[in-house]
């Protein structure tokens, strides 16, 4: 099923509003979800709406949050999301970071007491579109066993960064510190597809291709990925005084309870380090040099980070966003949710 981005946005916003979210917040949340689906990151798009709707309707997302922001220094601040929509809080916090970085050169904003915020690429792109460098880190459910361990402790703990070139192209990375994000496995489940045997382990610690048998995700590059997970957890958890590591609650543990997650945004103004126009020109040169590099066998060309997602976005805008039929049927139905997620563990069926 292919939908225009406008139609998809409308369906998701309507569903989230029916679940109890303010229309203003539902629209922002849907902006983030459409952004993900346009880029082909369906794990963070429409497939998440039923989960969000169930949490909203059961009280686990504050539908009337008292967002507060405290500037703790010329280059720092803390945004408290009051456990409202994480997508909305993260966007507003990045707005504060952009404002502060333009004024003082750099900004580090802690975002605390929020729920799931979706694709980090959306928030770092906010900064990149303003000619700044955006960096974001966030903690997540314990789903990955530490290197040499047997039980999940850290989450997928993603990291994202984006910056813009002189011609408007954006170089971007948004990656989980596990081999693959949990949402990609949920996406495979929704499509009844297998996963590569390098993504996850079953309950016995063996590699699995069945997305329904996943019991632990694999860190990228073994001990290196494990160390990155620790770094994200310290900067977006312990630093902000929210639950960390194994104390982070599962998305599905109790949908009536707050999540209290943390996220960190860093925004840098390149003009404080060198001429901004020259900086963006060199970003362009870097992208062009990568694109013109001789590809290895089996590859059509070399893509700079974020380019494939940009290509998918343009294609989706022209041809429509590809949505699984089951998800479309849910979005157009009168059902708010099917009570599928509450009181499941971190590896709940999606």
Residue range 191-221, pLDDT digits in tens: 899 999 999 888 888 889 999 999 889 899 9
Region at 181 (left for phi over 0; alpha for psi -120 to 50; beta for the rest): beta
Show the domain range for 159: 2-274+310-332
At residue 344, the pLDDT reads: 81
Residue 110, classed as helix, strand or coil, is: strand
Mean predicted lDDT score pLDDT of the chain: 95
Q: 296 in a domain, yes or no?
A: no
Q: 39 in a domain, yes or no?
A: yes
DSSP element (H, E) containing 189: helix 182-190
The total domain count for the chain is 1
Q: 340 in a domain, yes or no?
A: no
Pairing verdict, β 170-175 and 159-164: antiparallel
Question: What DSSP character marks residue 145?
Answer: P
Q: DSSP strand E in 86-195: where?
A: 106-114, 133-138, 159-164, 170-175
Q: 86 in a domain, yes or no?
A: yes
Residue 162 has pLDDT above 50, yes or no: yes
Q: 284 in a domain, yes or no?
A: no
Give the active site residues. Answer: 116
What average pLDDT does the segment 82-101 reach?
98
What average pLDDT does the segment 257-273 reach?
97
How far is Cα 317 from Cα 297, in angstroms, rounded to an integer? 31
Q: 226 in a domain, yes or no?
A: yes
User: Of the candidates 185, 38, 35, which has an alpha carbon nearest to the alpha carbon of residue 125?
Assistant: 35
pTM here is: 0.93
At residue 187, the pLDDT reads: 83
Pairing verdict, β 261-268 and 106-114: antiparallel
Q: 337 in a domain, yes or no?
A: no
Q: 345 in a domain, yes or no?
A: no
State the DSSP string of 248-299: SPPTTS-TTS---EEEEEEEE-GGGTS-HHHHHHHHHHHHHHHHTSPPPTT-
How far is Cα 342 from Cα 240, in angstroms, rounded to an integer? 27
Angle at 264 between CA 280 and CA 218, to 5 degrees: 95
At residue 72, the pLDDT reads: 98
Check which CATH number belongs to the domain holding 93 and give it. 3.30.1370.60
């Amino acid at each position: 099923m292919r939908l225009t981005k406008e139609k998809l946005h409308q369906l998701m916003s309507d569903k989230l509003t029916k679940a109890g979210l303010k229309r203003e917040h539902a629209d922002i949340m849907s902006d983030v979800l459409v952004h993900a689906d346009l880029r082909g990151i369906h794990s963070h798009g429409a497939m998440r709406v039923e989960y969000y709707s169930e949490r909203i309707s059961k009280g686990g997302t504050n539908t009337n949050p008292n967002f507060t922001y405290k500037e703790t220094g010329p280059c720092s601040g803390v945004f408290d999301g009051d456990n409202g929509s994480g997508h909305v809080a993260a966007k507003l916090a990045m707005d504060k970071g952009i404002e502060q970085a333009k004024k003082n050169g750099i900004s580090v904003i802690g975002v605390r007491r929020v729920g799931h915020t979706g694709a980090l690429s959306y928030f770092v792109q906010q900064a990149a579109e303003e000619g700044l460098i955006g960096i974001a880190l966030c903690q997540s459910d314990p789903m990955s066993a530490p290197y040499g361990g047997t039980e999940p402790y850290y989450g997928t703990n993603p990291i994202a960064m984006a910056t813009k070139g002189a011609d408007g192209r954006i170089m971007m990375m948004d990656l989980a510190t596990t081999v693959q994000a949990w949402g990609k496995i949920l996406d495979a489940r929704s499509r009844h597809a297998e996963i590569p045997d390098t993504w996850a382990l079953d309950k016995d610690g063996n590699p699995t291709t069945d997305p329904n048998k996943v019991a632990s995700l694999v860190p990228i590059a073994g001990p290196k990925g494990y160390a990155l997970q620790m770094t994200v957890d310290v900067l977006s958890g312990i630093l902000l005084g929210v639950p960390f590591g194994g104390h982070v609650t599962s998305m599905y543990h109790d949908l009536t309870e707050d999540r209290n997650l943390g996220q960190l945004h860093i925004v840098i103004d390149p003009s404080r380090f060198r001429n901004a126009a020259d900086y963006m020109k060199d970003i362009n040169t870097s992208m062009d040099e990568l694109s013109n590099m001789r590809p290895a066998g089996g590859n059509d060309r070399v893509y700079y980070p974020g380019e494939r997602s940009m290509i998918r976005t343009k294609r989706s805008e022209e041809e429509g966003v590809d949505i699984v039929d089951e998800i479309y049927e849910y979005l157009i139905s009168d059902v708010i949710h099917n009570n599928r997620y509450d009181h499941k563990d971190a590896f709940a069926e999606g």
